[in-house]
Amino acid sequence: MDINMTKGIKYFIISDIHGHFDEMILSLSRAGFDQNKKHILIVLGDMFDRGNQSKEVLEYLYKLCMEKKCYVVIGNHDVFLLELIDENYSRVEFNIQYNGFSHTLISLSGKTYSSSFDLPQIRSEIINNYPFLYEWINHLPNYIEIGNYILVHGGIDGSKDDWKTSSRRDFVWSYESSLQRVMDKIVVAGHQRTATIHNKNCNYHDLFKEQPDEFGIMFLEGKILIDGFVEVSKNINVLLIEG
């Protein structure tokens, strides 16, 4: 998907909200985003899971998208909802166990927690509550090109003759820090928490107390990584690009 970079427009880029609505709103407010006609929000995927406010995140972002004030790139945690609606329950069970998907099921269905979810019933409740959800998420772009930037959730493989032929799985699951860069472009990506790139297998809560800058935006050659590990930092990094 291409977006024309327009002079005078400010583009506020965030990623990996993970159901943290309050943190998203506070971070955007601090960055100066106020929904005026010269402000465009771009979300690099992973709206859901882990936090308890997926409902609020969904309703806020969907409304802005319908008003043409926001664009969303698909992330792997967004794909999890497609798997639910497609009745891929083995994947749903896996994501409940390992990826915080239960928080999304509870938030979007309005059901209370249970150790054994009735997944068909919850699926039905979510479809009833948000009949637009499947089509909207399924048609989110894998990436956005704007000016000299490529915006993606996971990564862009610059070693390919044509990186645009990559699969959706490649776009949402890759780690941009480990990929060959795309020459003459700047790739902006989420997915990989910046604090984890140089700090492997540590106590990240302790790291945040001691070195909060490790959770900020990371600038590499031809790459900008923005996932601020909201579950720990309680902050969502905001990258501002001005047209």
Predicted confidence at residue 19, as pLDDT, reads 98
Paired tokens of 204: 């990240």
**How much is the pTM?**
0.96
Long-range CB pairs of 166-174, under 8 A, 24+ apart, other chains included: 166/142, 168/74, 168/79, 168/142, 171/74, 171/142, 171/143, 172/45, 172/74, 172/75, 172/76, 172/78, 172/79, 172/142, 173/76
Helix axes 119-129, 89-98, angle to 10 degrees: 90
**Are 179 and 157 contacting, i.e. CB atoms less than 8 angstroms apart?**
yes
**Nearest partner of 116 among 102, 95, 99, 98, judged by Cα:** 102
pLDDT in tens, 32-76: 999 888 999 999 999 999 999 999 999 999 999 999 999 999 999
Task: Give me the CATH number covering residue 39.
Answer: 3.60.21.10
CA distance 171 to 28: 25
CA distance 13 to 10: 10
- Low-confidence residues of the chain, pLDDT below 50? none
Predicted confidence at residue 115, as pLDDT, reads 61
CA distance 61 to 41: 9
Predicted confidence at residue 206, as pLDDT, reads 97
For 175, the domain range is 2-242
Give how many domains the chain has, as a whole number.
1
How do strand 10-14 and strand 239-242 relate by DSSP bridges?
antiparallel
